[in-house]
Structure 1
Amino acid sequence: MPYMPITESMFLLAETREQPMHVGGLQLFVPREGQSGTDLAEEIFETFHNCRDVRKLFRKRPAPPATVLGYLAWSYDDDIDFDYHVRRAVLPRPGRIRELLRYVSLNHSALLDRTRPMWELHIIDGLEDGRVALYTKIHHSLIDGVSALRLLENSLSADPDDRTGTAMWDPALKRRRSSSAPAALVSRIAAVRGLAGQAVDVAGQIVGAAPAAAKIAWRAIREDDFAAPFVPAPRTMLDVSIGSARRFAAQQWPVGRLRAVAESLDITLNDVVLAMCGSALRAYLVDHDDLPDAPLIAAVPVSMHGDTASEGNAITAIMANLGTDEPDAERRLATVVASTRSAKEVIRGLSPLQALMFGAATIAPLALAPLPGFVDHTAPQFNLMVSNVPGPTDHLYWNGARLDGAYPVSIVMEGLALNITITTTADQINFGILGARKELPSLQRMLTHLDAALDDLEKVAGKVTRISGP
């Protein structure tokens, strides 16, 4: 049985009934010409159900026994119960997006079974517009959001005439991806270098952790723009103990609108996304008479995978000041840009291992959140997580059915009742918003506020040519 690293076991250790620790995704497909939604759903179900050769990732489950320190190893199931893992559903009439999001909300509230490989795939039709939805959920101990999106991409094709569609757990997909000889050679060379130099490299980076921490502390003292970890954020309705029920809201916008703002102001697409989130949160909290005087702080995960297609978890995090205390959209955007630029400069000054350690330390207080009274008597380190995961740049297809949207469905936790995760698909940017159902009423209003925020940013771009920053 392979050893379970602490970076994976911590997601199992943190899980409670009120705090499921699985990530998910909602994908929408347009049937190919002449095909009905029901026919496409049946085709996907039959193909997936009959794909009995399963890669190791989808056969993993925690090996008993669990100790006070959690699980220590993984085991692998040889037989997969596809009747359990691959599910077929039909939405009740009238089959609006509202019914689909309600289905996702209810199913994302339920824990995964640890006695089985920890994943489910739901094939859903009955949408009034004829599209077919795939809702997947997989435990965060197995994979992070970047790797999950790459698994989806790898199971699709850029060729609308390709009819070789298969399930994302098919080992043939992994073999096909790694069939390039030069890429495989580079990978082998990197592996040899890693084995030879790993001990020296890791030891050197750990020794350098103290100076790196000193550098971060000095930056926090010297620069007002830098949102330093361990500096308390304001307490809001987002930072409370939560129940197990979830509500999911999702919407997409043309990515060209956001890129036009970014290019006009010489900022990044992620800056535009964070500014939209800050503006929407300000409006949402005003709706509920809960806007604090101090700005909200977002933890923004940063992938360390680079250009590789590796599986597992490899993320750090930075803090971003969302400028919610600023009523003016232009000044709020300037606050976001200055904050993210300063944080990125700090990360660039760290080694990869130090960056991972920095991210782990940043979100470490979340591990204590399930303890009774911790959330109620401890100031939050940040108010929410906002993740932006780059997706495919081309239109993708499964057996000729076009991917029309991919919405991340992430995690909320004790003291962290809201999560916003974004990804791109070809010419669209897709927002997935997950919230604790009871604690955050009328969560769907966030979508209206995001739309208004983008309108405001376009007005800013129309009168300003550049946002200044360090």
Structure 2
Amino acid sequence: MTGPNMTELRPLDSGFIELEDSDRHISLGIGAVAIISGAVPKRAEFTGALTERLAHNTRLRQRVRRTPLDLAAPAWEDDPNFNVARHIRWAALPEPGDAQTLFELIATELAERLDRDHPLWQCTVVENLADDRWALIVRAHHSLVDGVSGISLLESFCDRDADDTPADNPQQNHENRTAPGWFELATKTLRMPLDVPRFVVGALRSLAPIAIATISPAAGSSLNGPIGRQRRYVAVRTSLSEVREVGAAFGVTVNDIVLAAVAAGYRRLLLRRGEEPTGDKLRILVPVSMRPTDAKYVLDNRISAMLPQLPIDIADPIERLGRIHDRMTAHKSSGTAQAENSLLSMAGRLPFAPVAWAVRLAAHFPQRGVGALATNVAGPRRELTVYGAKVLELLPCVPIAMRLRTAIAILSYGDHLAFGITGDYDTTPDIDLIADGIREGIAELLARATIPRQDAASPLTAPRDRNTSTRG
């Protein structure tokens, strides 16, 4: 039985449902935090305005419906009991209402699972932030958004810009698949003996390098292992214009610089823990957006991934940056991301049951090859406002899963670049060391970038000769 607004979840979207179901310790909600100037709006005003803005996207009024025995993919269906007030919470920070108390609240939000009986998003209005400010925490399940669409969701809750207004119900204009009827389901089932072997062969051929990297254990590290239910969170702020200055000096991308700073953070963490930061110790998952520009407001996942080794063994910041640039360039030219995208398209043509079983099996397999995640999202360039009040900062926050004890999200907004670091509460009490290392890593690169060319040492001048555009 299908309804007029029912659409199947895409394979990657449903995979995040399966992943969360496989581990009671994780919550796969992606978040963004807007820090806003001025007084908090009245509750009735906020709820009314949000209700009006929800009219622009049907998906925000839909919940996930699963089929018996998972014979078909989960589908989005209208929530018959939808009430916007159910998705709005109000909280007040204790004194002094500083960054640390806000970070503790964000960590608590990240640990809480979203209610599967209703649409998978929630916003929390945070009062009593110091210096006459308040905050808005917007979370949505990873089955509903990736990094790019998650930021677009937060933008949709802000005041509209005449040049950047989403069309009504944008979900209906993009690749959403109508939930299948019994005839289509039966056809897929009958084709399983032909389609499944092709799927397996294609997977092995296209993704063998990634599979080997994931399965092969990395050198022993405290970064990978079992995680609990509670979370820690901390953020680092820096200047995007300064990061671009570094990029212009050395002929590298913003993403290269971001990963170099992340490598500096993990290098500091491991050294303080008494662990040798060898070159084979940290393979990192780096999501890559495959989202076309006309799908900005479509709520789903359009990502692939890379799994480079971070050169945390290199002490010199310029040499480390050059090594990352070379590795990322090699990954981008390998075609792996496009192969993953093709594989996901192939998975969408299979009956859902074997795909779901494969995801569950993989989720229960204790991967030891990846030690962290870092995702870099280009945020809004224009200044955002909420009910006329200026959005001063945007902070990203991502979940952890699959034995990854830390994850880092990087988000730009105007001239700001923010690193949001999520950690497991029990195993990362020293999460601030990553933040300190990121700050120091960027400061070192900026200092070296401003050295006059004639006075620079050879490790500094070498990256200047790279024929690489500076872009994020």
* Residue deviations 1:142-190 (CA, integer Å, cap 9, x gap): 121111112223444586xx9xxxxxxxxx9533697xxxxx9xx89x9
Paired position in structure 2 for 1:223: none
Q: Aligned with 1:175: secondary structure? A: coil
Instruction: Give the partner amino acid of 1:255.
Output: L
Change (3 A) 1:281 1:408: same
Question: Structure 2 residue aligned with 1:9, among 8, 11, 14?
Answer: 14
Paired position in structure 1 for 2:333: 345
Unaligned runs of 5+ in 1: 32-36, 163-171, 179-183, 192-202, 221-226
Answer yes or no: is the 8 Å Cα contact 1:25–1:408 preserved in 2: yes
Answer yes or no: is the 8 Å Cα contact 1:216–1:346 preserved in 2: no
Deviates more, 1:320-329 or 1:273-282: 320-329
Deviates more, 1:272-281 or 1:247-256: 247-256
Q: Aligned with 1:253: secondary structure? A: strand
Paired position in structure 2 for 1:29: 36
Answer yes or no: is the 8 Å Cα contact 1:279–1:453 preserved in 2: yes
Question: Structure 2 residue aligned with 1:415, among 382, 403, 411?
Answer: 403
Instruction: Give the partner amino acid of 1:301.
Output: P
Paired position in structure 1 for 2:287: 301
Q: 5 Å matches for 1:452-467?
A: 452-461=440-449, 462=451, 463=456, 464-467=460-463
Change (3 A) 1:156 1:295: same
Is 1:235 aligned with 2:220? yes
* Residue deviations 1:179-211 (CA, integer Å, cap 9, x gap): xxxxx9xx89x99xxxxxxxxxxx9xx989979
Change (3 A) 1:257 1:173: closer
TM-score, scaled to structure 2: 0.78
Q: 5 Å matches for 1:22-421?
A: 22-31=29-38, 37-39=39-41, 43-45=45-47, 47-48=49-50, 53=55, 55-64=57-66, 67=69, 72-157=74-159, 174-175=166-167, 231-293=216-278, 294-308=280-294, 309=296, 310-347=298-335, 350=338, 353-354=341-342, 368=361, 370-371=363-364, 374-375=365-366, 380-421=368-409
- Tell me how large the CA RMSD over aligned residues is: 3.7
Answer yes or no: is the 8 Å Cα contact 1:45–1:123 preserved in 2: no
* Residue deviations 1:117-146 (CA, integer Å, cap 9, x gap): 121110111011111101111111112111
Deviates more, 1:1-10 or 1:405-414: 1-10
State the distance in 2 between where 1:450 and 1:60 align: 39
Q: Aligned with 1:262: secondary structure? A: helix
What is the CA distance between 1:233 and its match in structure 2?
2.7
Paired position in structure 1 for 2:186: none
Paired position in structure 2 for 1:199: none
Change (3 A) 1:42 1:103: farther
What is the CA distance between 1:465 and its match in structure 2?
3.4
Instruction: Give the partner amino acid of 2:416.
Output: Q
Answer yes or no: is the 8 Å Cα contact 2:288–2:337 preserved in 1: no
State the distance in 2 between where 1:337 and 1:68 align: 43
Q: Aligned with 2:167: secondary structure? A: helix
* Residue deviations 1:42-79 (CA, integer Å, cap 9, x gap): 75355336767473211222225553679633321133
Count of residues paired in the alignment: 419
Change (3 A) 1:405 1:271: same
Instruction: Give the partner amino acid of 2:17.
Output: L
Change (3 A) 1:80 1:442: same
State the distance in 2 between where 1:92 and 1:114 align: 30
Answer yes or no: is the 8 Å Cα contact 2:103–2:234 preserved in 1: yes
Question: Structure 1 residue aligned with 2:437, among 439, 449, 460?
Answer: 449
State the distance in 2 between where 1:254 and 1:280 align: 17
Deviates more, 1:300-309 or 1:349-358: 349-358
Instruction: Give the partner amino acid of 2:292.
Output: G
Paired position in structure 2 for 1:18: 25
State the distance in 2 between where 1:384 and 1:328 align: 22
Answer yes or no: is the 8 Å Cα contact 2:207–2:336 preserved in 1: no
State the distance in 1 between where 2:385 and 2:434 align: 30
State the distance in 2 between where 1:454 and 1:357 align: 39
State the distance in 2 between where 1:386 and 1:333 align: 16
Answer yes or no: is the 8 Å Cα contact 2:406–2:424 preserved in 1: yes
Answer yes or no: is the 8 Å Cα contact 1:26–1:136 preserved in 2: yes
